Structure 1
């Protein structure tokens, strides 16, 4: 308590009751009651020093600035590699940096720290593995080219030496006077020349076979790299670019062969709340759980892509509209009934979430944009009607006056 305030209270009370532990005056009930209140007032903790409060606030602001600087340095350590999802991670780190403000609570700061350690650590490990893999591939390519060039030069040099020696021997043969000896020598040289040509041809065929095998291996690696570039590095689904290309292919095929397909959009209802309370790492684990659940209701011919942050899309090229609707209704029920357990900030949590689904079907004349808009409109209708449900484009038609 401020010393001036304490002094005023003391003068007030002592002026009224004129009582002290050494007073000879008799203690009345009123005086004793006032004396007890004074003892309680003396026991109150002192008010914090304003200068100390300003000092602590300044230290807090400096720590927040230091955190932003460290976060900026971490961002500079990332390589701009599309297939690792670096651009998305940088965007998430920018959002985290914006949350560094004086109003940040201790529990929120702890959650941000835990999430950053895990997300940044995993990304740096993936980046290191990617760079090591590319370095090994580059070294292998250089080795193959060096070995191939050395082999080619060595074989050609040996072949050229044999041809030159043959020329020297032919010069010597031309100096022979005996026609029979000349014929015999020429026949021997022709046989040796043929053998050299056949040997050279066999060497080139073997080398061609080796190069063909190496080219096939590199083509396989290239196809795998293209496949990986189309996938979301964190969730495992196809990314939006791959989804758009596949949807365009389905639209073109449906228009040419009159073979309609079904298109669904799925969104996690509680995703903003999950991000707010637990961060992007737990949010990504929720999306992985949704992706695995989608795989349970899809065929190998179906195409699962990530349309937006918490929104997936599935293209069903083979099933009927009724079958797809039935499977998606079952998916919605199973996800709502499932409980997920995870550890966050050294605490164990049980989490349930739900999904909303919009479903539509290709109609003659549809474009990629028109069928997507109908599916997204059906998804929005599902959310407006209470979420945790599947709505179709048929429900949209009922709402049109």
Structure 2
């Protein structure tokens, strides 16, 4: 069988940039190219465009415009939030709390700070990937200065009880940061009512351009700069602004948060049908993550006796784009740290597949995947010594 049309089911890795977003960006590559730090008219146009985008991001989060700082994306925002708070508050304490299932932008940053003399607690999660608020409360000490817990997991889609977790942080007068890169456009966020002090986001996860994101920093937070140089972003983040990218980020978040419930309803119907079909057609398959407290488009399933990487290659040959987990670790042969943290055995975690749906997907796409995927799994199992051994041990076909 040759390649069919591309069926893209890896929206957690990245999304395409919507035409409406590209259209508002284009003038800032050509006619409105002025440096916002200059004082002539075309520079003022650039500055006004950035201010407008800042207001759009703030509105989407329930924040004030002067609490939004544009960055190069989620990884920079995570690094700035964690390192910035750690260094600025070191005299008050050196303890940070995070979880075992964070994105590597958070985990590796915390591991770096451990080498700098900071103590880090990595909270466990249950089999669904949920943090127990009581575990967080028990972990807080008089030296705790920051808690960083992701809003929704990028691999298994589980949505954490952020408001409850942040309330615990507020009670103990500890700053609370959330990596909300996967959450924007999928859940309604209000940083004030949810007691969130810092929040990271990245435009390319919600149909905006790559290379631009933002960090929300509640007014009054003590935080050091991550990037030094000029006085851009109100002297908080040096570097000539990515005007077109920032404009695109503003437009994208405006579109993504305009009708979250409507978006979720359409995507979730397709996701649930896809899950039902997979579990009905493929034996020895299991859903990873929480069955209901999860991102609407996220589906992470493990198939016993096969390797996820092999599945991806066969699916790609059929024009289906999927993932085994985080795009940032797709070149790694190590099992997912997220799946291992949920208690999934190593051998089963190796056979995981992440299908994440988005605006381009249709019911016809679901039909194709449900036709192709069972055949792919069956062929791979036919070549699997583990599968053959299981069949022999049971004395039957498995």
What TM-score, normalized to structure 1? 0.25
Max Rg structure: 1
Higher helix share: 1
Higher strand share: 2
